[in-house]
Structure 1
Amino acid sequence: MYWGVVVFETLCWLVFFSMLGTFTYLSYKRGRILPGLWFVLGIFAMSWIEAPFDNAMYAQFHPDFHRLPAIGPIGMTQGQLPVIAPPGYIMYFLLPALIAVGIAKLIIKRFDTNRGNTFVSCGLAVGITWDLSIEGLQAQYLHLWTFSRVVPGLAISNGMGLLPAYIPLAMAAFIVFAAVVVGNTTPDGDSVVDVWAKSKTTSPGVRLGLQAIAYIVLCNVVYAATYLPHAITKYAGMLTQTGVLVPYPGKIAMQPESGAPQSNGALGAIIMWGLLIGCVVLTSWWAKRADRSMIAPSLVSASSLTDRAPSLAT
């Protein structure tokens, strides 16, 4: 068993159970489910998209990873999807989102910056740095996974394959969304999703159901949006830059080609970068609109109550 796989799997499980335990405990103490715990559910539920993502990116994982059975869409990863993918997503997406939230709150407190813009900016910066660090370090030293085909331009070659420069932007797009929802909350600690659910019903049970569905659906939709340009370029045969086509010979066979002629790489790069940048822009627009319509009014109300408190006391 390769030591790098052991370390990575162990870290994923430790972070997953730490996040789950911490948010469960805090939710119990506060008598309400916190946005962070809802995100554990939502991110776990969207992790099935990893397999179609792998297929579209010609990604393969080290053969020593423990594998899930090849059932339905999760069987699209060449060599099968690692067991660690669902819990590992919590570490990969929620942890950097929380780091971005912490940094954003410090900036807002110190410089009184716009809340929506700050959460988006910090989520984007931390997300890109986070993914680029993990992708780059593992590609250079651990070879835990690799990509065999990418759209041309800005791809970094290494001994095991390619490291496409657009992957950090794709991952950061979701981290921006997570940071905005978890960080930009009302004085009561409600995210924009929680505020929306409360506006639809007064029944606690129905509200919980709406929250669960909303977090799961939103996580899947946002992550699927980052998958879309990868699917388009893959199935249109635009991944013209190749690395090591069989990164684990004798262990995992070469992934079959999409069937389309591998051409129009420049157009593929435009589609990839254009749609990924569009995902970030759309998330930023949504964050600002949600802040104005659902979060800002509660902050103004709380501020008004605080200002009136001395006069009420007298």
Structure 2
Amino acid sequence: MMSELPLILKIGVGFAYLGGIAFFAIGIWLSWQRGRLHPLLLVSISALSFSWIEAPYDWAVYAQFPPELPRMPSWWPLNMTWGGLPSAVPPGYIAYFILPTVIAAYLGRRLSGSLSWRLPGTLLLVGFVLGTLWAFVFNAGFGARLGVFYYGYVIEGLAFWPGTKHQYPWYDSIAMGVQVMAFTYLLGRTDFQGRTIVEVWADSKTQSRLRASLLSIAVFIAIGHAVYLSVFAPHLATKLMGLVTVGPSEQLFPGVPNQPL
């Protein structure tokens, strides 16, 4: 089926699967080298865990994908994406969120050291700025401009290129920036042993390495969900309040009805 996809969709699907698998595999290898779970693996697990929220998120922001893309089965939780959630989304969440997180954590630590800035604030600032820029480039550029996905409706006055099928709600970039900011803080703030603040807490609760690892995974998943649900909530609220109303009259994808208001 991949051979039948247009080149731009092949690139998107390839980025999702290859990027997701690569980060997960590197996280496993680093964990094996370290003798305990590596922060990269923990944030990757967290990103994968809340990928189910993408479907209701798509519904709230009227995101639509090309009909050629393979979809998740009907049993996928809250499969509310118009036409079904693309099957590349779960691994794609790892690639999408972890790539800017790794870069932001590296830059944040370098800036903190060279400019003598406090590390926590620097990580949060760099994570938010880089995450927001990344989301704009990927979602507005690669997505809405090149046709990997479109936003059927946006809030009036809060979008680029409103009224066209290439319109992009800039508030989506802010939401993604907040998520990358949280991940950057978790990945970049470590102690002299390379432990995140979550791992330090988990180690204080139990002497068992296995239990500490399970606690760390659970907390990373909980934090990932809490942050992503918090940035999803405004989208859901504006959708339910009927504020997302600006969009093109043409079909976003030929032969496929647009998601109705």
The TM tier, using the shorter chain, reads over 0.9
Assess if the C-alpha contact under 8 Å between 2:165 and 2:247 holds in 1: no
1:7-22 matches, cutoff 5 A: 7-22=11-26
Q: Which AA in structure 1 matches 2:38?
A: L
**1:161 Cα deviation after fit:** 4.1
Residue 2 of structure 1, aligned match among 3, 6, 12: 6
Distance 1:140 1:161, change over 3 A: closer
CA distance in 1, matches of 2:128, 2:79: 31
Residue 202 of structure 1, aligned match among 195, 202, 207: 207
Q: What residue is the counterpart of 1:97 in the other structure?
A: 101
List per-residue Cα deviations over 1:187-211 (Å, max 9, x = no partner): 1111111112112222222212211
Unaligned runs of 5+ in 1: 258-314
Q: What residue is the counterpart of 1:135 in the other structure?
A: 139
| Aligned-pair identity (%) | 30
CA distance in 2, matches of 1:162, 1:112: 41
2:130 is equivalent to residue 121 of structure 1: no
List per-residue Cα deviations over 1:243-290 (Å, max 9, x = no partner): 35631131x332233xxxxxxxxxxxxxxxxxxxxxxxxxxxxxxxxx
Q: Which has the larger radius of gyration?
A: 1
Q: Which AA in structure 1 matches 2:61?
A: M
Q: Which AA in structure 1 matches 2:132?
A: I
CA distance in 1, matches of 2:203, 2:124: 24
CA distance in 1, matches of 2:33, 2:250: 52
Q: What residue is the counterpart of 1:70 in the other structure?
A: 74
CA distance in 2, matches of 1:91, 1:48: 15
Assess if the C-alpha contact under 8 Å between 1:51 and 1:77 holds in 2: yes
Residue 88 of structure 2, aligned match among 56, 66, 84: 84
**TM-score normalised per structure 2:** 0.93
List per-residue Cα deviations over 1:56-78 (Å, max 9, x = no partner): 01110112211111225342000
Residue 152 of structure 1, aligned match among 153, 156, 159: 156
Assess if the C-alpha contact under 8 Å between 2:36 and 2:213 holds in 1: no
1:162-311 matches, cutoff 5 A: 162-244=167-249, 246-250=251-255, 252-257=256-261
Q: How many residues align?
A: 256
CA distance in 2, matches of 1:220, 1:139: 24
Q: Which AA in structure 2 matches 1:24?
A: I
Q: What residue is the counterpart of 2:63 in the other structure?
A: 59
**1:2 Cα deviation after fit:** 1.4
Q: What residue is the counterpart of 2:48 in the other structure?
A: 44
CA distance in 2, matches of 1:139, 1:177: 23
CA distance in 1, matches of 2:13, 2:84: 16
Assess if the C-alpha contact under 8 Å between 2:55 and 2:80 holds in 1: yes
CA distance in 1, matches of 2:49, 2:143: 27
Q: Which AA in structure 1 matches 2:219?
A: A
Unaligned runs of 5+ in 2: none
Distance 1:139 1:212, change over 3 A: closer
CA distance in 1, matches of 2:260, 2:75: 18
CA distance in 2, matches of 1:111, 1:14: 36
CA distance in 2, matches of 1:245, 1:70: 28
**1:139 Cα deviation after fit:** 4.5
SS at match of 1:240: strand
**TM-score normalised per structure 1:** 0.78
Assess if the C-alpha contact under 8 Å between 1:42 and 1:216 holds in 2: yes
